Structure 1
Amino acid sequence: MDEAANENYSSKMVFVTVGTTCFDALVKAVDSQQVKEELTNKGYTDILIQMGRGSYVPSKVTREDGSLTVDYFTFSPSIADYLKSASLIISHAGSGSIFETLRLGKPLIVVVNEDLMDNHQSELAEELAERKHLFYARPQTLHHTIQAMDLESLVPYTPGNPMPVVTLMNRFLGFPTE
């Protein structure tokens, strides 16, 4: 890429996180040609994958032909900076990852790990998707979700007010409520 083109280049990074688990199905889905094409069609330029304990290694790609760049790592002490710099987050259905992303006001696609036995995570993801705070997918439907997603349809997440609970606990424990 020449310097003039590089100056006009505006990156749109997709950050993918699987947390501390192994979620190879998500990493494979993101690494698929279908998902990469849909992300390119939506204007995304870079994919960074936090792959956790997984054994599937995505293909690293550097930009030479105008395609997406793809990079990955296993773990980081904190993913906060990656979340902040991303234009789109694709995440496993862990509540920490979900709420951290929603608090940042970032567009989010939650992909449910169907291999988990007690899949309470899917209930949380489905409920938040129903309220239009995020998009919900399974590994095999991720490319369809990206293709159909309309970021303008998302409703910002507003955390609840904890004060009524605090007041109730203070009364229960006999502390002053003022």
Structure 2
Amino acid sequence: MGDAGDVKAERIVFVTVGTTSFDSLVRVVDTAEVKHELFNKGYTHLLIQMGRGSYIPTKSSGEDGCLAVDYFTFSSSIADNLRSASLVISHAGSGSIFETLKLGKPLIVVVNEDLMDNHQSELAEELAERKHLFCAHPQTLLHTINGMSLETIIPYHPGEARPVAKLINRFLGFPDD
């Protein structure tokens, strides 16, 4: 039996595609190169929420000196997965983005270029520019993981909407409350 100091702390990478099909993201996180880079950065587990996708990732117990990998399609809530994650890799849905940022988790948002409306990429790119998260595309994810420095992330603090609402009400002629 090994000594307790030999046990590596669990560091989970949680990947979520929401309710969509985003096989290109699931496929890229399942590559040996991405899994190897995550393992080299100290992560021990990869948990993939694959949504409606048809690509099935390769499960691994992690006993062979690499990441333990598991997956599922849907869950009534991913809140527990987000809370237990050391790193989140997410599609660019605003709900997933802001839920992760609210928890203060490091986040890589991967833009789905197959979607018709690109408003999600605008949100992800703006938040990346403000250094709240990292933004990638499926073909650049490995490079993003390789170059990411979590120390550069600036915590996201949601703004206060009340002053804006008061200004709009005043402009529209409504009384202040």
Task: Name the TM-score, length of structure 2 as normaliser.
Answer: 0.93
The 1-side partners of 2:17 and 2:44 are apart by 20
The 2-side partners of 1:174 and 1:63 are apart by 61
How much has 1:163 moved relative to structure 2? 1.2
3-state SS in 1 of match to 2:97: helix
Match of 1:61 in 2: 60
Matched, 1:162 2:158: no
Q: Which amino acid in structure 2 is aligned with residue 73 of structure 1?
A: F
Which consecutive segments of 4 or more residues in structure 1 shift more than 2 A? Answer: 2-9, 165-176
Per-residue displacement from partner, 1:30-68 (whole Å, max 9, x unpaired)?
Answer: 000110011011000000000000000000100211210
**CA 1:76–1:175 in 2, change beyond 3 Å: closer, same or farther?**
farther
Q: Please give the residue correspondences for 1:55-134 in structure 2 after superposition, counting only pairs within 5 Å.
A: 55-134=54-133
Matched, 1:40 2:42: no
Q: Which amino acid in structure 2 is aligned with residue 142 of structure 1?
A: L
How much has 1:167 moved relative to structure 2? 2.8
Q: Please give the residue correspondences for 1:15-54 in structure 2 after superposition, counting only pairs within 5 Å.
A: 15-54=14-53
The 1-side partners of 2:164 and 2:130 are apart by 23
Among all aligned residue pairs of Structure 1 and Structure 2, give the percentage whose two residues are the same amino acid. 68
3-state SS in 2 of match to 1:155: coil
Q: Between Structure 1 and Structure 2, how many residues are aligned?
A: 176
Per-residue displacement from partner, 1:52-88 (whole Å, max 9, x unpaired)?
Answer: 0000000010021121000000000111110011000
3-state SS in 2 of match to 1:136: strand
Q: Which amino acid in structure 2 is aligned with residue 44 of structure 1?
A: Y
Task: Name the TM-score, length of structure 1 as normaliser.
Answer: 0.92
How much has 1:170 moved relative to structure 2? 5.8
3-state SS in 2 of match to 1:121: helix
In the alignment, structure 2 segments of 5+ residues that lack a partner are none
3-state SS in 2 of match to 1:87: strand
Per-residue displacement from partner, 1:123-150 (whole Å, max 9, x unpaired)?
Answer: 1111111111100111011111000000
The 1-side partners of 2:16 and 2:139 are apart by 17
Matched, 1:151 2:165: no
How much has 1:119 moved relative to structure 2? 1.2
Match of 1:11 in 2: 10
CA RMSD in angstroms comes to 1.7
How much has 1:175 moved relative to structure 2? 5.7
